[in-house]
């Protein structure tokens, strides 16, 4: 069986270093907001060429705290993609705000940047672009709409650590970039974790307070905050994995290249990577016609696959009713044809070729 994702090759690459670093943390006795979190925050900021970054407990919390710190308030509208994981929409609702969904583009599966202008109202406070599957949205277009209307931009970079446009990494375009270290992500930890990148010193200070019970100085609480800290063990491991991240992303891009070549000329849609874009393939997602039959046939040949995402966010039970009149035809269509193939650093050429042969046999 070729699995969808396998964390073991990555672990084997860093196991010795991670074990030594974890032991050092355990022996230090300092587990919360210690030297590893501090160093990792600087390293993540440097990686992105931004002034600061803040470690938090998850990607979901990164989005929530970034929206709060950016001033998103009850009644505000946040424009985002309906074709994503639920976390961004949860974060919007945590703030008492409401999502406004832009339809997506069929080729990139990102929200259609050219539709944003038409969705702005006087209640719009922010845009939350999601760099889906590891491909950046057109951030120049997003930023131009945002600047024109004075909106904040909170990038959901959970699937795209290391993705770039003309060399500039996602998470460095908007007011804040939000990352997840869930184990399957491009920079995966050994548990949950998240991070916010920003050039805005005030925003960074607010997120630092919010993640730590609303306090800057211990036992002086200025606002109602949260317990949402990245822990030292995760930070110690992530510091090591960050040094290997470009290598891991190159491995994903190598597999993607093999797929793109091996699957060309078939009756299916392959992922695109526009001029100047650097895709990091958090997922390798194609679009096929008879998806259920396609997946069953792959499964018979020992190839795992997954559907991200079968139910768009405007059709989820949790949002039902609120979006009944909303028409998002491209998103609805893509949610019925999308299917993700195995993708992980350390996947062998033989495994990739097995996937290619199976897809060619069944499509």
Ligand X SMILES: *Cc1c(COP(=O)(O)O)cnc(C)c1O
Query: From the list 47, 83, 85, 133, which residue makes contact with ligand X (rule: CB under 6 A)?
Result: 85
Residues 199-238 that bind ligand X (CB under 6 A): none
The structure tokens listed for 210 are 């919010």
Q: What is the footprint of ligand X within residues 53-72 (CB under 6 A)?
A: 58-60
* Contact mark string toward ligand X, 111..130, x via CB under 6 A: -------------------x
For residue 171, state whether it binds ligand X (rule: CB under 6 A). Answer: no
Task: Read off φ and ψ for residue 333, nearest 5 degrees.
Answer: -70, -45
Distance CA 281, CA 254 (A): 10
Which letter does DSSP use for residue 214 in this model?
T
**10 binds ligand X per the rule CB under 6 A:** no
155 scored as a contact of ligand X (CB under 6 A): no
With CB under 6 A as the contact rule, which of the stretches 142-150, 155-163, 168-176, 327-335 interacts with ligand X? 155-163
Structure tokens at 328: 């998002």
* Relative orientation angle of helices 232-243 and 35-48, to the nearest 10 degrees: 40
Q: Is 136 in the site for ligand X (CB under 6 A)?
A: no
3-state secondary structure 302-363: CECCECCCCCCHHHCHHHCCCCCCCCCHHHHHHHHHEEEECCCCCCCHHHHHHHHHHHHHHC
Q: Tell me which of 65, 72, 158, 280 binds ligand X, using CB under 6 A.
A: 158
**Alpha helices for 222-279 (secondary structure H):** 232-243, 245-262
Q: Is the CB of 180 or the CB of 287 nearer to ligand X?
A: 180
Residue from 82, 171, 188, 194 touching ligand X (CB under 6 A): that is: 194
Q: Which two tokens stand for residue 21?
A: 């670093």
By CB under 6 A, tell whether 177 contacts ligand X: no
Q: Shortest Cβ distance from residue 84 to ligand X (Å)?
A: 5
Among 159, 212, 283, 340, binds ligand X (CB under 6 A): 159
Rounded least distance, CB 165 to ligand X, Å: 18
């Amino acid at each position: 069986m070729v699995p969808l994702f396998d964390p073991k090759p990555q672990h084997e690459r860093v196991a010795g270093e991670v074990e030594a670093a974890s032991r050092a943390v355990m022996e230090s006795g300092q587990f919360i907001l210690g030297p590893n979190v501090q160093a990792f925050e600087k390293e993540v900021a440097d990686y992105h060429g931004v002034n600061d970054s803040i470690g938090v407990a998850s990607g979901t919390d990164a989005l929530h705290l970034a929206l709060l710190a950016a001033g998103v308030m009850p009644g505000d509208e946040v424009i985002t993609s309906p074709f994503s994981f639920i976390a961004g929409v949860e974060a919007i609702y945590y703030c008492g705000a409401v999502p406004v969904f832009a339809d997506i583009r069929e080729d990139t599966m990102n929200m259609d940047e050219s539709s944003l202008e038409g969705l702005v109202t006087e209640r719009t406070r922010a845009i939350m672009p999601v760099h889906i599957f590891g491909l950046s949205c057109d951030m120049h277009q997003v930023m131009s709409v945002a600047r024109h209307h004075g909106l904040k931009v909170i990038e959901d970079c959970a699937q795209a650590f290391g993705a770039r446009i003309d060399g500039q990494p996602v998470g460095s375009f908007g007011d804040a970039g939000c990352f997840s270290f869930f184990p399957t992500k491009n920079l995966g930890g050994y548990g949950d974790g998240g991070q916010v990148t920003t050039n805005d010193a005030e925003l960074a200070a607010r997120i630092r307070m919010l993640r730590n019970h609303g306090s800057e100085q211990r036992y002086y609480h200025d606002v109602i905050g949260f317990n949402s800290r990245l822990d030292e063990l995760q930070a110690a491991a992530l510091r090591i994995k960050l040094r290997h991240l470009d290598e891991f992303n190159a491995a994903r891009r190598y597999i993607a290249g093999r797929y793109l070549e091996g699957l060309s000329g078939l009756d299916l849609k392959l992922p695109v990577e526009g001029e100047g874009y650097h895709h990091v393939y958090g997922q390798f997602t194609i679009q096929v016609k008879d998806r259920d039959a396609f997946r069953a046939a792959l499964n018979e040949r020992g190839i795992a696959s997954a559907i991200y995402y079968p139910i768009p966010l405007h059709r989820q039970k949790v949002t039902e009713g609120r979006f009944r009149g909303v028409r998002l035809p491209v998103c609805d269509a893509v949610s019925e044809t999308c299917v993700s193939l195995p993708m992980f650093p350390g996947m062998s050429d033989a495994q990739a070729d097995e996937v290619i042969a199976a897809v060619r046999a069944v499509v």
